[in-house]
Structure 1
Amino acid sequence: MNNLSVTKSNELVDASYKLNVQAQKLVLACLGKVDPRREIPKEITITALEFSELMGIPNAHRELYLAADSLFGSSIKIRDGNDDIEVHWIQKKSKKIKGSGSVTITWSDDVLKYISCLQSRFTSYKLRHIAELQSSHSIRLYELLMKFNSTGERIIYLDDFKSALGLSDKYPLFKILNRDVIKPSVDELNQRSDLTIKYETIKKGRSVAALSFEFKQNKQMKLDV
């Protein structure tokens, strides 16, 4: 089992973006290969074998190429101080090296500041703890919680939660959001990650205004049996 860590600036953790689960795992696998305390290379290559071993993905050649294609053109909306900016994950279409079953991605200049030379205000976690997750929503919720790992508690406004998952324009009814996104994500994290999570709603009047999460890490990661 790999012991690599993923590190992102807190601005990137709380940013608004939507990637499918394999594209998310490609980003995280690439981040796991670098030292975020130093200036990281603008280009990074990952093989299908690495992708498979790090993330437990069968048919990794196909999934790696699809993930790279999906990443191209995907953007991130970030609150940086008082500014709202939109940046892209990668600068150009990923280079596929089919003979070696690998892809080379080129980080955009804008995103590098949120993943490179990080000295403070960042979130880190072990890559293996999200490797078994099958939902992109579960991965994003994991990151949002791990930002507050020191306290094991996080209250997040519902609008901010939806924004972080790239769902601002969807799920106007909370009961549908809870049924389709929140509860399945919490259930999957309880089953397949190292977190044990409970949550409840905070209401303003009759409407849900925020979510309150309590969580703790298990020393031994839980896996399906």
Structure 2
Amino acid sequence: MDTNKICPPKGFKVSNLSVSKSNNLIDASYKLNAQAQKLVLACLGKVDSRPDKSIPKEISLTASEFSNIMGIDMKNAHRELYKAADALFKSSIILRDEREEVELCWIQKKVKKLKGEGAVTLTWSDEVLKYICQLQSRFTTYKLKNIATLQSSHSIRIYELLMRFNATGERVIYLEDFKSALGISDKYPQYRDLAKRVIKPSVAELNQRSDLVIKFETIKKGRSVAALSFEFKKSAQLKMDL
């Protein structure tokens, strides 16, 4: 099979495209800009995540698909797609458990830019492919349209972290784990700065543009903020990009 010619299946509807990401990856620490995150999610959205289906090591995405899936102006889609591809090549993921910490590359080699076709082909790294291939029961699934209009990479990451607990509509996360998941462990040592620059703007954007209605509170240990408590629910309808 020529993986450079991967096309959406017959009857393909972008509005129904979903993405499944291993929960290990969702809780991992990585920092991607918004466009690179959308590139990963758009590619994952083309993957059939049913347990009996194999995951292709290579996958292609056209500028037209990127524009359609993520609501990007077509005249900018080629440029944004190539910029996202470059950012993805330079990025890594940190997976942690009680015993060890390991840093993985998202992709095995620099993304192939098919300039004449306005497309890219990426090759997942072997390590990341293992997590993408995990059983469906270990995955969190959501509709791509729910994050397509988000402009902040932090908003997309928070959306993922919350959807990990979609069944309960609640998530408590230690502040250091929250910062790590967003790739900002070395920034905002003061909570007030973190809240002003990251948490409040991201929650406001999610409430405005995603399918979630979110509230959060702080949990303190002494005078310091130790954790964040999120409550969220699905809104009646997807909000408009105002």
| Whole-angstrom distance in 2 between the partners of 1:79 and 1:123 | 19
Superposed counterparts of 1:109-148, under 5 Å: 109-148=126-165
2:234 is aligned with 1:217:
yes
| Whole-angstrom distance in 2 between the partners of 1:176 and 1:117 | 37
Q: Which of 87, 103, 110 is the matching residue for 1:86?
A: 103
Q: In the alignment, is the contact (CA less than 8 A) between 1:39 and 1:117 conserved in 2?
A: no
For residue 114 of structure 1, give the secondary structure of its aligned residue in structure 2. helix
Runs of 4+ in structure 1 displaced over 4 angstroms?
A: none
Aligned to 1:56: 71
Q: Which amino acid aligns with 1:208?
A: V
RMSD: 1.1
Q: In the alignment, is the contact (CA less than 8 A) between 1:133 and 1:189 conserved in 2?
A: yes
How much does 1:223 deviate?
Answer: 1.1
Q: In the alignment, is the contact (CA less than 8 A) between 1:94 and 1:105 conserved in 2?
A: yes
The TM-score normalised by the length of structure 1 is 0.97
How much does 1:81 deviate?
Answer: 6.3
| Whole-angstrom distance in 2 between the partners of 1:122 and 1:146 | 10
Q: In the alignment, is the contact (CA less than 8 A) between 2:22 and 2:134 conserved in 1?
A: no
Aligned to 1:153: 170
How much does 1:40 deviate?
Answer: 0.8
| Whole-angstrom distance in 1 between the partners of 2:241 and 2:106 | 32
| Whole-angstrom distance in 2 between the partners of 1:215 and 1:99 | 44
Q: In the alignment, is the contact (CA less than 8 A) between 2:60 and 2:121 conserved in 1?
A: yes
Q: In the alignment, is the contact (CA less than 8 A) between 1:51 and 1:64 conserved in 2?
A: yes
How much does 1:117 deviate?
Answer: 4.2
Ranges in structure 1 where 5+ consecutive residues have no aligned partner:
none
Further displaced range: 141-150 or 74-83:
74-83
Give the percent of matched residue pairs that are identical in Structure 1 and Structure 2. Answer: 73
Aligned to 1:200: 217
The TM-score normalised by the length of structure 2 is 0.90
Number of residue pairs aligned between Structure 1 and Structure 2: 225
